[in-house]
């Protein structure tokens, strides 16, 4: 054979090659050679062992291999590892990989038998628990066979070997051997393959599979290895991938998010913006499908490497093709990082209306060929972690969708930008300086607001629900009404806001219906508001519909725990405080509050029909009557 085409196989195929070359798959000595894309190949369920060990060559390489009588397989650095005869698939090893952590533990079956014949052979795919170690201890001299091939171990290969060696050191007579047995997405066939490989290594000695112990404890040293290998989401490398049309807001949101992360500190960030990458890493590439794919794979490769070391990469190319985005996801996950996909889903009409760079006009005029959205496709991602349409929204508001999703996923815990945004205007919006000199979170501000000569400023009550269109507006209007009935209209002021509220939406019409029979006015003037830091500072007490709303606030403002309650919790906490009212009552309730359990929540009636609205209204009204009777100055009714 001469002038064979070269091909670098997938990690799975490289593992299979090593087992074929070392005789670990005996009697199998050849690949089933296939031609085609990554989906070529067998129907998984009825796979024979022969067809499981397949090598898929791209069509052009396959044709060249057929013409030349074979293909030379090289490792990712180009080192020739083996020749494979085509057709037939017989493997002729050229060299073994000489590098990689714990390489000296990768023994062929012949080497392993020479050193360890007569022992019990124990396959290992995860760190051993204390109970499993106890089981091994009863087996006498053992070989722990760490199965480290692609897709097989629960830990990374190197962590599995490290953890297994630590266990072996605690046993009287245990050796460790590493075998790159890969998984082929067919659990049954892979199990059969594993049994065959272990039998080859054991050569007639006993093979013992350990009982599963999914909830077992690890010895401390092993637990440290496992913890380091499976970092908590907020310690994991992370690739934040913004995709969307040109002008959708990818760069703007990515930049704003990076600022937030940098302001918080504690993490390094690398930015790979679409335009910037095209001037550097991808200079010279066009906007053809092939070049776009190359561009995205380059970005993905760099981002994956950053994530491998626990870093954070923020990338914002158009990335119009689903398959390339999936490839990046796979690269990042293979590197041990997390991949978080943000679809900036601003529609084409809005992007074109913005036309910040004048490119859409040129594309429409035919001056730019293959322009995404106009003359080149954009495949909408089905697997986005969050979707943000920026149309008609402020940047902080749109950014908060990303911040909330990142927090929910456990990757990053950043303060909401709409709350930050409110900090500056908050100073002007606060009560006059003569009344409040230095408002503080907690109770000091309301205590300070109590002035001499028996004159008290009104008590400030803030109601909070999700969108500030249903429950919290009902609370605000009803509370004002009930305070009027109690003669406390001047003593207490009410506002409401939503944790995820939009600005200036009217009250939900179904909820409005519940106000009318109660004779409660004011909904025509009502407009929704997002919760801001200013509102929280204004309030002497914050009463939320649900425990989740309370938690949402406390996550960002933990110091406010004595003044944020669910409405139900607040009423429960009133018991035994009959002699107090106003700020003193709030101080006492803050100190003796009950738990904000979810069964005290006011259920969300939004879009659940008129009965649900009436139930919520009745629940809120009874709670408010109890709360306000206690809060209102005594003798005011």
Ligand X SMILES: Nc1ncnc2c1ncn2[C@@H]1O[C@H](COP(=O)(O)OP(=O)(O)O)[C@@H](O)[C@H]1O
Site for ligand PPS in 205-264 (CB under 6 A): 246-247, 251
| Burial class of residue 434 in the structure, from the number of CB atoms within 10 Å of its CB (0-12 exposed, 13-18 middle, 19+ buried) | exposed
In the complex, minimum distance from the CB of residue 392 to ligand X, in angstroms, rounded to a whole number = 8
* Phi and psi at residue 500, to the nearest 5°: -125, 40
Say whether 175 sits in a helix, a strand or coil: strand
DSSP state of 83: E
- 398 touching ligand PPS, by CB under 6 A: no
Calpha distance 399→344 (Å, rounded): 10
Calpha distance 152→146 (Å, rounded): 10
Which region among 52-60, 246-254, 401-409, 418-426 touches ligand X (by CB under 6 A)? 246-254
- 158 touching ligand X, by CB under 6 A: no
- 395 touching ligand X, by CB under 6 A: yes
Which region among 386-394, 495-503, 554-562, 605-613 touches ligand X (by CB under 6 A)? 386-394
How many residues touch ligand X under the rule CB under 6 A: the total is 18
Confirm whether residue 533 is marked as ligand binding.
no
**Among 12, 162, 292, 480, interactor with ligand PPS by CB under 6 A:** 292
Confirm whether residue 246 is marked as ligand binding.
yes
Which region among 287-295, 475-483, 490-498, 534-542 touches ligand PPS (by CB under 6 A)? 287-295
**Residue in this structure with the two tokens 């398959």, named with its chain if needed:** 323
Residue pair 620/475 in contact by the 8 Å Cβ criterion = yes
- 523 touching ligand PPS, by CB under 6 A: no
Which region among 366-374, 427-435, 506-514, 555-563 touches ligand PPS (by CB under 6 A)? 366-374
Q: Taking Cα atoms as reference points, which of 157, 145, 136, 124 lies closest to residue 203?
A: 145
Confirm whether residue 247 is marked as ligand binding.
yes
- 417 touching ligand X, by CB under 6 A: no
In the complex, minimum distance from the CB of residue 401 to ligand PPS, in angstroms, rounded to a whole number = 19
Confirm whether residue 375 is marked as ligand binding.
no
Say whether 469 sits in a helix, a strand or coil: coil
Which region among 21-29, 225-233, 241-249, 454-462 touches ligand X (by CB under 6 A)? 241-249
- 56 touching ligand X, by CB under 6 A: no
Q: Strand pairing of 32-35 and 338-344?
A: unpaired
- 246 touching ligand X, by CB under 6 A: yes
For residue 322, give both structure tokens: 């689903």
Strand-pairing partners, residue 332, are: none
Nearer to ligand PPS, 237 or 317 (CB): 317
- 109 touching ligand PPS, by CB under 6 A: no
- 243 touching ligand X, by CB under 6 A: no
Give the total residue count for the chain.
Answer: 637
Residue 359's binding partner among ligand PPS, ligand X, none (Cβ under 5 to 8 angstroms by kind) is: ligand PPS
Q: Strand pairing of 338-344 and 492-498?
A: unpaired
**Among 73, 299, 335, 398, interactor with ligand X by CB under 6 A:** 398
**Residue in this structure with the two tokens 């930015």, named with its chain if needed:** 271
Q: Strand pairing of 564-566 and 6-7?
A: unpaired
Which region among 23-31, 299-307, 388-396, 602-610 touches ligand X (by CB under 6 A)? 388-396
Q: Taking Cα atoms as reference points, which of 500, 331, 337 lies closest to residue 404?
A: 500
- 357 touching ligand PPS, by CB under 6 A: yes
**Residue in this structure with the two tokens 């990757």, named with its chain if needed:** 411
Residue pair 439/537 in contact by the 8 Å Cβ criterion = yes
Calpha distance 329→297 (Å, rounded): 10
Nearer to ligand X, 388 or 602 (CB): 388
Nearer to ligand PPS, 322 or 370 (CB): 370
**Among 181, 359, 419, 589, interactor with ligand PPS by CB under 6 A:** 359
Interaction mask 337-356, ligand X, x per CB under 6 A: -------x---------x-x
Calpha distance 354→357 (Å, rounded): 9
Calpha distance 180→267 (Å, rounded): 35
In the complex, minimum distance from the CB of residue 344 to ligand X, in angstroms, rounded to a whole number = 6
- Per DSSP (E only), the strands in 180-308 are 238-243, 269-273
For residue 243, give both structure tokens: 């995709």
Nearer to ligand X, 503 or 594 (CB): 503
Nearer to ligand X, 28 or 314 (CB): 314
In the complex, minimum distance from the CB of residue 244 to ligand PPS, in angstroms, rounded to a whole number = 8
In the complex, minimum distance from the CB of residue 376 to ligand X, in angstroms, rounded to a whole number = 15
Calpha distance 490→480 (Å, rounded): 10
Nearer to ligand PPS, 278 or 430 (CB): 278
Residue pair 145/179 in contact by the 8 Å Cβ criterion = yes
In the complex, minimum distance from the CB of residue 73 to ligand PPS, in angstroms, rounded to a whole number = 31
In the complex, minimum distance from the CB of residue 301 to ligand X, in angstroms, rounded to a whole number = 21
**Among 22, 248, 282, 295, interactor with ligand X by CB under 6 A:** 248
Nearer to ligand PPS, 242 or 411 (CB): 242
Which region among 9-17, 55-63, 151-159, 243-251 touches ligand X (by CB under 6 A)? 243-251
- Residues 6+ away with beta carbon under 8 Å from 473: 496, 507, 508, 511, 523, 526, 528
Calpha distance 443→459 (Å, rounded): 12
Instruction: Work out whether the CA dihedral 479, 483, 485, 489 comes out positive or negative.
Output: negative
Calpha distance 79→97 (Å, rounded): 9
For residue 76, give both structure tokens: 């990712």
Q: Which residues are annotated as a binding site for ATP?
A: 244-251
Q: Which residues are annotated as a binding site?
A: 244-251
Q: Which residues bind to ligand X, rule: CB under 6 A?
A: 244, 246-253, 316, 344, 354, 356, 390, 393-395, 398
């Amino acid at each position: 054979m001469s002038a064979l085409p070269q091909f670098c196989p997938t990690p799975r195929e490289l593992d299979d090659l090593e087992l074929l070359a070392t005789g670990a798959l005996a009697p199998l000595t050849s690949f089933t050679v296939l031609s085609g894309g990554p989906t070529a190949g067998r129907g998984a369920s009825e796979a024979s062992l022969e067809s499981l060990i397949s090598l898929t060559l791209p069509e052009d390489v396959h044709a060249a291999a057929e013409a030349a009588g074979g293909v030379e397989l090289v490792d990712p650095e180009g080192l020739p590892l083996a020749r494979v005869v085509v057709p037939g698939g017989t493997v002729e090893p050229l060299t073994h990989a000489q590098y990689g952590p714990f390489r000296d533990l990768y023994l062929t079956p012949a080497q392993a038998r020479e050193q360890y014949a007569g022992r019990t052979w124990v396959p290992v795919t995860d760190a051993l628990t204390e109970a499993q170690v106890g089981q091994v201890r009863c087996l006498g001299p053992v070989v722990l066979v760490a199965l480290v091939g692609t897709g097989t171990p629960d830990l990374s290969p190197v962590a599995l070997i490290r953890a297994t060696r630590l266990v072996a050191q605690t046993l009287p007579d245990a050796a460790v051997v590493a075998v790159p047995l890969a998984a082929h997405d067919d659990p049954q066939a892979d199990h059969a393959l594993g049994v065959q490989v272990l039998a080859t290594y054991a050569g007639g000695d006993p093979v013992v599979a350990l009982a599963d112990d999914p909830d077992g404890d690890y010895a401390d040293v092993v637990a440290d290895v496992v913890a380091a290998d499976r970092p908590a989401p907020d310690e994991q490398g992370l690739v934040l991938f913004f995709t969307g049309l040109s002008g959708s807001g990818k760069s703007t949101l990515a930049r704003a998010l990076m600022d937030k992360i940098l302001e918080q500190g504690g993490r390094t960030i690398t930015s790979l913006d679409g335009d910037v990458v095209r001037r550097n890493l991808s200079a010279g590439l066009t906007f053809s499908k092939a070049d776009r794919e190359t561009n995205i794979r380059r970005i993905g490769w760099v981002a994956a490497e950053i994530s491998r070391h626990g870093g954070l990469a923020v990338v914002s190319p158009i990335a119009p093709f689903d398959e390339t985005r999936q490839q990046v996801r796979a690269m990042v996950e293979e590197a041990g990082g997390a991949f978080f996909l943000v679809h900036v889903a601003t529609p084409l009409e809005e992007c074109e209306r913005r036309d910040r760079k004048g490119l859409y006009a040129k594309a429409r005029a035919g001056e730019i060929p293959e322009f995404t959205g106009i003359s080149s496709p954009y495949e909408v991602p089905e697997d986005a972690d969050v979707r943000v349409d920026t149309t008609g929204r402020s940047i902080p508001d749109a950014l908060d969708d990303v911040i909330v999703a990142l927090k929910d996923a456990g990757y990053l815990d950043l303060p909401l930008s709409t709350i930050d945004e409110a900090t500056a205007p908050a100073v002007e919006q606060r009560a006059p300086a003569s009344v409040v000199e230095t408002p503080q979170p907690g109770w000091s501000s309301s205590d300070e607001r109590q002035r001499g000569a028996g004159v008290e400023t009104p008590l400030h009550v803030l109601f909070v629900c999700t969108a500030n269109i249903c429950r919290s507006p009902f609370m605000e209007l009803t509370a004002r009404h009930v305070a009027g009935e109690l003669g406390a209209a001047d003593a207490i002021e009410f506002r409401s806001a939503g944790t995820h509220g939009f600005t200036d939406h009217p009250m939900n019409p179904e909820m409005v219906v519940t106000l009318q029979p109660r004779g409660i006015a004011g909904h025509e003037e009502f407009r929704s508001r997002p919760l801001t830091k200013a509102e929280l500072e204004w309030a002497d007490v914050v009463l939320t519909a649900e425990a989740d709303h309370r938690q949402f606030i406390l996550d960002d403002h933990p110091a406010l725990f004595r003044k944020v309650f669910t409405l139900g919790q607040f009423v429960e906490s009133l018991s035994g405080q009959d002699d107090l009212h106003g700020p003193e009552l709030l101080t006492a309730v803050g100190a003796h509050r009950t738990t904000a359990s979810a069964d005290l929540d006011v259920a969300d009636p939004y879009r659940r029909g008129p009965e649900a609205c009436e139930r919520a209204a009745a629940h809120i009204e009874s709670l408010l009557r109890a709360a306000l009777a206690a809060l209102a100055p005594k003798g005011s009714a």
